[in-house]
Amino acid sequence: MQDRNFNDIAEKFAHNIYGTTKGRLRLAVLWQDLSDLLTRLPARPLRILDAGGGEGQMACRLAALGHQVLLCDVSGEMIQRAKNAAAEQGVTHNMRFVQCAAQDIAQYMDSPADLILFHAVLEWVAQPQQVLKTLCDSLSPGGALSLMFYNHHGLLMRNMVVGNFDYVQAGMPKGKRRSLSPDHPLNPQDVYGWLDEMGLTISGKTGVRVFHDYLKNKQQQVEKFDDILEIEQRYCRQEPFVSLGRYIHVMAHKPHLKDAL
């Protein structure tokens, strides 16, 4: 079993994810969380790692705030797209780019990161717990992890809403066709347990697309986008909606050295 590389469908990925209301909503909700998270970190230029950063949407926004951002991705095509985005936005001077898997990034880091972003990658790797531990080990004491993963519960809910009963009863097996459907949907309780075992304290949970994907009239996703976004942002940090999100964004902190003693 191998980790997923998007070289072969980079253009499709860009169009189907970020060129849709799904992508716009995801970026808006994540940025709201990150803006709050930044207020709880030192008020200085931070050392940020965007592991599996893709086209660099978040990395470029953080670099524009004056932070030093290292972006890695296993896909050379994605790295080039991120470089192009950084150049267009005038933030190349605050960024570094490395083509490698997230679990191999430590050798390219000069020092531990104050903040690590790991968004929509965990569900594509063959050994998610091991990759997550490697990243947590690269986090500085007192640093924060911004982790977004594909939610098994959201996948189950979505398939039941559309009536895919046989697929659900079969255990929702992954098809053989290489597509944008993640290989390994994750049980939230497993992920929360892994973070606890690694010594991180969860400081926030947010459901991403807690209503959007369940709308009966799909045209409303476009026509009523602003209304949907407002309602998503109102409820996405409350249960049971967090656990119904197609993705879950978890923010966790590593203890300071004095706290770990």
Annotated binding residues for S-adenosyl-L-methionine, written as ranges, equal 26, 52-53, 73, 102-103, 119
Task: Give the rounded distance of the alpha carbon of 199 from its chain centre.
Answer: 20
Cα separations in angstroms, 65 against 38, 68, 69, 145: 11, 9, 10, 18
Contacts of 227 (CB under 8 A, 6+ apart): none
Core vs surface per residue 103-117: b (16+ CB within 10 A) or e: bebeeeeeebbbbbb
Q: Which of 163, 173, 175, 185 is nearest to 247 (CA)?
A: 185
φ and ψ of 177, to 5 deg: -70, 135
Return the SS3 of 132.
helix
Return the SS3 of 147.
strand
Q: At what angle do helices 57-64 and 21-38 cross, to 10 degrees?
A: 40
Structure tokens at 186: 């994750």
φ and ψ of 100, to 5 deg: -165, 165
Check: CB of residue 95 under 8 Å from CB of residue 71.
Answer: yes
Report cis status (omega within 30 of 0) of the bond before 42: no
d(CA 79, CA 19): 18
The residue behind tokens 């994605």 is 78
Summarize the annotated binding site as residue ranges.
26, 52-53, 73, 102-103, 119
